[in-house]
Amino acid sequence: MSASVKYLVVIIDLNPIYWADKVSASNTLNFKQYLNTIIQFCNAYIAFDINHRLIIIGCSNNETYFLYPDPVNESLIIPTVTKTNLFEQLFVVDRVVENNLKNFIRDGSSASQSVGSMITMALTQALCYINRIIRDTLAGEKNSFRILIIQTTNDTSKQYMNFMNAVFTSEKLNVPIDGCILNNESSLLQQACDLTSGIYLRVPDPNGLLQYLLWLYLTDKELRKMLALPTKMAVDYRPACFCHHKLIDTGYVCSVCLSIYCDNTSACSTCRSAFDANGSTDGSKRPLR
């Protein structure tokens, strides 16, 4: 019987905005240390189990890029122990990631003024990649998948709809999403982790990032049962309205297509159902709660 292969997709937020004031900071994590920390975590993940496979996707404020495996030479390196008992492949992984990172940062366009990162795009690419592996899986093979999002920028509610659709897909594919955020709490990431049974953590001290990554995100669902995990916080389940992309507490829902609006409108912009002035329709409006 073939062993179960465990895939981890790491999505790294490389948006420069968070790092702008930390370039020369000596007392807090800077961009170079951040990248080194993530590479160390990735090395640890590969070395942890011979059946571990790694995929790394970087995203900035306007694009995403496969850092590993190399988009040009796509084969995944399978870890093996050599005569010297060293995972020589780790060096290859490091080199591929480093080269792709340099290309990504050098070629990145600064045209977009958006402050948020393309986390949603990276997440959908991760799901497409996973779907392809599932499709190519031979009968009898049993693979498991996991996605880890390391985010440094604030949520952009513009991505709410697409992000949540990706999260529901992930839930359906039984792929847990883990979230690790260095900045302010992220309501979208919290919802993603809660819905897919992943672990969400806002790192209290970025200097300890490696410890947090190794503690929580090296292990899969089964091993986590044996760990002392951080206590679960109440999840902020506020949705974003479809009209202004603002997170709202109370709003109106189209009863035909479930689109959410922050204010009374005469017609649903998604499915074009007309609402009458009294609030009942073919698609009646009602407050969210």
Chain positions contacting Zn ion, by CB under 5 A:
241, 243-244, 254, 256-257, 259, 262, 268, 270-271, 273
Contact call for residues 239 and 247 (beta carbons, < 8 A):
yes
Taking the complex as a whole, the smallest distance from the CB of residue 60 to Zn ion amounts, in Å, to 28
Q: Which is nearer to Zn ion, 193 or 268 (CB)?
A: 268
Q: How far apart are CA 72 and CA 265, in angstroms?
A: 49
Buried-exposed string 231-253: b where 16+ CB fall within 10 A, e elsewhere? eeeeeeebbbbbbeeeebeebbb
The residue assigned the tokens 């995972």 is 87
Taking the complex as a whole, the smallest distance from the CB of residue 115 to Zn ion amounts, in Å, to 20
Taking the complex as a whole, the smallest distance from the CB of residue 273 to Zn ion amounts, in Å, to 5
Q: Which is nearer to Zn ion, 141 or 236 (CB)?
A: 236
Taking the complex as a whole, the smallest distance from the CB of residue 285 to Zn ion amounts, in Å, to 10
Count H helices and E strands in the chain, helices first. 7, 8
Q: Which is nearer to Zn ion, 233 or 257 (CB)?
A: 257
Q: How far apart are CA 1 and CA 255, in angstroms?
A: 50
Q: Which is nearer to Zn ion, 134 or 258 (CB)?
A: 258
Cα→Cα distances 176→42, 162, 187, 199, Å: 18, 17, 17, 9
Taking the complex as a whole, the smallest distance from the CB of residue 121 to Zn ion amounts, in Å, to 23
Q: Which is nearer to Zn ion, 165 or 174 (CB)?
A: 165
